[in-house]
Structure 1
Amino acid sequence: MKITKIHITLFCLSVLVLSSCNQKKEQKVEGTNTTVFQPETGIDLLDLQAKNKLGKDTIITIINDPVYHKTKKYQAVNALNVLKKEIDLSKIDIKNTKIVFECIDGYKPEMPLELFLNTKPFLAFKDIEAPKGSNWEKIIKDGNEMNADPFYLVYESVSEKDIRYKWPYNLIKIHLKPSNESTKELFPSDNKELEIGYNLFQKQCITCHSINGIGGTMGPELNYPKSITEYWIEKELVDYIVDPASFRNKVKMPTLGITKQQSQEIVDYLKYMSKKKIEVRK
């Protein structure tokens, strides 16, 4: 076929049109506020401390400290400054993101990132009034002795009675994750009657226990390889969740303050999840 000037002109025009369309598409994506959330590997607080990257420290006073149950003074660094320095929050969908605190003992409390950003949080690393030769006064809880080391998250302007805020000690890492992270895997979408148990598990249990590897590791995994409902007598499991101390001396599991009916709702949900096991990666 003979190539004419008309063919060349048409080809050039088509290239220009395609190029223009692609540029417009790229500009449209760049101009939106929607961000694709990429799970963070976490902020390693011990690593930052070793590299002297936590920032300037200060002395803060906490009235009615919820862990020590008295007024305490700590040497601490501004937690917001640490977070903003390590993670570019302009690329995060703040309203749909949660902040998860990872502790040495496996405890993983979480709260909305937006709520956290509207407070004055500090990472305490030394108890000013600790006994000589120690960084921390011992924590006594339910007959168990614990240590707040290496970090304890505290707030200057938050009431210790406001349960929306988390005060984790033994803190070592901070993660930002999608707010609905566990919904897809753990929500009983095909059985609405179990939503009550699911919601109770999310509120009362997931910070310490995991299902299919999702949740805390302070307590045992509850679903894999065997569900707890497969080796506990159901009635006793319900009673144990209500009052753990009636089963074990110096038990680490706290009294949750829930009713027997609520405990049964949790157990029914766990029985449902026992049919939806997913192998947990080691």
Structure 2
Amino acid sequence: MLRRFLSLLALCFMLPLHATDLSIDTNLGLHRWTAAQLLARPDVKNISIPSDVAFRRSMQYRAIPLRALLPELKHSDRLQFVSSDGFSVDIPADAILNQAGAEAWLAIEDSRQPWPALPGNKGDAGPFYLVWTHPADANISVEQWPYQIVRIQRTQDAATRFPATAPAASLPVSSPIRYGYTVFQRTCFTCHTLNGEGDAQMGPDLNIPHSPTEYLSDDMLRAFIRNPQSLRRWPEGKMFGFPTQASLSDADLSALLAYLRYMAQHKVSP
């Protein structure tokens, strides 16, 4: 019995750091890649990211241009990136097919040279991480840098997939609530659900049973979104704040709160 236990223990230490495959669903069907397979491709390059979003410092990666892994991708498509930690973000194909500035890369962690741990006790980023060169050229936001990616697939817009999250169609196009819905998708929907709908599983629902606008004052909610630890210090907290105008402008934050207040009056029980 002891020998069997020791054999199993030895096997655990022999396993690679990351055993997760990457699934990519394109018009050509589902394809699964291991890190070793991707690292063996001839289009892998060494790239430098001066201000990495996840690691908050300069990083060097072995990476592949993401568009090389997405044949038949059209400018009208949307892609969903799903991470093993429950994070999920939709990114328009336009950003990935962009040839004029920002370029999307799939960074691949080599188990023989693992990346450092993420700051703030947030675990590992590997084995697959979407990074961008020259992100400012296409206004790439911090939420569009998903790590721990396990699946990339085509998807529809959020209002079509999750109608209970969308404001009423009768609202004018210029309504701050409608724009706030756009901000919500970019900033909150990556980690939270609303009215029980959404793909992300990292944080609580933002409307059921209560919207944060129902138990936090406007000033406290603004402060919390800018810096979650300013309201409640929790070393294990995973939420990244939006501390600067570059990551979330005051106008965008106001529109987001208008949307959340509106949805608090339009609850849909899951």
Normalising by structure 2, we get a TM-score of 0.65
Distance in 2, Cα, partners of 1:269 & 1:150 = 35
Q: Alignment partner of 2:108: what SS?
A: strand
Residue 103 (structure 1) aligned with residue 83 (structure 2): yes
Aligned-residue sequence identity (percent) comes to: 29
Alignment partner, residue 241 of structure 2: 255
Alignment partner, residue 161 of structure 1: 136
Q: Is the 8 A contact 2:45 2:62 kept in 1?
A: yes
The alpha-carbon deviation at position 151 of structure 1 amounts to: 0.6
Alignment partner, residue 29 of structure 1: none
The alpha-carbon deviation at position 211 of structure 1 amounts to: 1.4
Q: Is the 8 A contact 1:187 1:195 kept in 2?
A: yes
- For 1:1-282, list aligned pairs within 5 A: 43=24, 47-49=32-34, 52=37, 56=41, 58-67=44-53, 68-84=55-71, 88-89=72-73, 94-118=74-98, 121-126=104-109, 135-140=114-119, 143-155=120-132, 158-162=133-137, 163-164=139-140, 166-179=144-157, 181=159, 185=164, 186-192=166-172, 193=175, 194-212=177-195, 213-214=197-198, 216-232=200-216, 236-249=220-233, 250=235, 251-256=237-242, 257=244, 258=248, 263=253, 265-280=255-270
Q: Is the 8 A contact 2:39 2:62 kept in 1?
A: no
Report the aligned-residue RMSD: 3.6
* Structure possessing the higher radius of gyration over alpha carbons: 1
Distance in 2, Cα, partners of 1:262 & 1:70 = 26
Q: Is the 8 A contact 1:104 1:170 kept in 2?
A: yes
The alpha-carbon deviation at position 116 of structure 1 amounts to: 0.6
Distance in 2, Cα, partners of 1:242 & 1:211 = 20
Distance 1:63 1:75, change over 3 A: closer
Distance in 2, Cα, partners of 1:54 & 1:181 = 37
The alpha-carbon deviation at position 113 of structure 1 amounts to: 0.7
Distance in 1, Cα, partners of 2:105 & 2:79 = 15
Distance 1:167 1:239, change over 3 A: closer
Distance 1:266 1:114, change over 3 A: closer
Distance in 1, Cα, partners of 2:131 & 2:258 = 36
Normalising by structure 1, we get a TM-score of 0.63
Distance 1:167 1:262, change over 3 A: closer
For structure 2, the 5+ residue unaligned runs are 1-22
Distance 1:114 1:262, change over 3 A: closer
Q: Residues 198-222 of structure 1: CA distance to partner in whole angstroms, max 9, x if unpaired?
A: 2332333222222131253322221
Distance in 1, Cα, partners of 2:38 & 2:109 = 17
Task: Report the residue type matching 1:220 in the other structure.
Answer: P
Q: Is the 8 A contact 2:180 2:257 kept in 1?
A: yes
Task: Report the residue type matching 1:66 in the other structure.
Answer: D
Q: Residues 144-200 of structure 1: CA distance to partner in whole angstroms, max 9, x if unpaired?
A: 343112211234xx3143432632211111121224645854134334442343233
For structure 1, the 5+ residue unaligned runs are 1-41
Distance in 2, Cα, partners of 1:263 & 1:276 = 20
Task: Report the residue type matching 1:82 in the other structure.
Answer: L
Q: Alignment partner of 1:101: what SS?
A: strand
